[in-house]
Amino acid sequence: GEQVEQRPPHLSVREGDSAVIICTYTDPNSYYFFWYKQEPGAGLQLLMKVFSSTEINEGQGFTVLLNKKDKQLSLNLTAAHPGDSAVYFCAVSLTSGGNYKPTFGKGTSLVVHP
C-alpha cells in the first residue's frame, strides 16, 4: 500500500527564517495531497489541499509544491513566526473505487524561536 515518508521529524528555526518540510510518497496513483497543522492538545487544522494537477500552490505565508515525477510534496513556510510552532502532517490519498483513506506522514515538530 501507499507509504509516506516525512522529513525532518524535528525542525527548529528563528523567526523570519524559512522552514521546509518534505514528504515522499510511493503510489504513482496518488491524487489528493493535504497538509495539516496540529497545535498541542488540538485536532488537525487543514492548511491546504492539493490535487495532482497543480504543482505550485500558494497559501498565506507558505507555499506547497508537488513534484509528481519525484513523488514529492513540500511545505515551505517563507517567513516563520512563533505562531507557526506546531506539528505538521502531510497526508496522501488515492481514489480507488471510492475507498478514500488518507495516509499520513509521521509528522514534523516545528519550533520557531523569537
Partner 1 sequence: GPKVLQIPSHQIIDMGQMVTLNCDPVSNHLYFYWYKQILGQQMEFLVNFYNGKVMEKSKLFKDQFSVERPDGSYFTLKIQPTALEDSAVYFCASSLAGRDTEVFFGKGTRLTVV
The residues binding partner 1 (CB under 8 A) are 32, 34, 36, 38, 40, 42-44, 46, 49, 51, 87, 89, 91, 93, 95, 98-107
Nearer to partner 1, 47 or 77 (CB): 47
Query: Is-contact 90 21, C-beta < 8 A?
Result: yes
Nearer to partner 1, 28 or 43 (CB): 43
CB of residue 39 to partner 1, shortest distance in Å: 10
Nearer to partner 1, 17 or 39 (CB): 39
CB of residue 64 to partner 1, shortest distance in Å: 15
CB of residue 49 to partner 1, shortest distance in Å: 5
CB of residue 79 to partner 1, shortest distance in Å: 26
Query: Is-contact 6 105, C-beta < 8 A?
Result: yes
Nearer to partner 1, 14 or 99 (CB): 99
Q: Which 3-state string (H, E, C) describes the chain?
A: CCCEEEECCEEEEECCCCEEEEEEECCCCCCEEEEEEECCCCCCEEEEEEECCCCEEECCCEEEEEECCCCEEEEEECCCCHHHCEEEEEEEECCCCCCCCCEECCCEEEEEEC
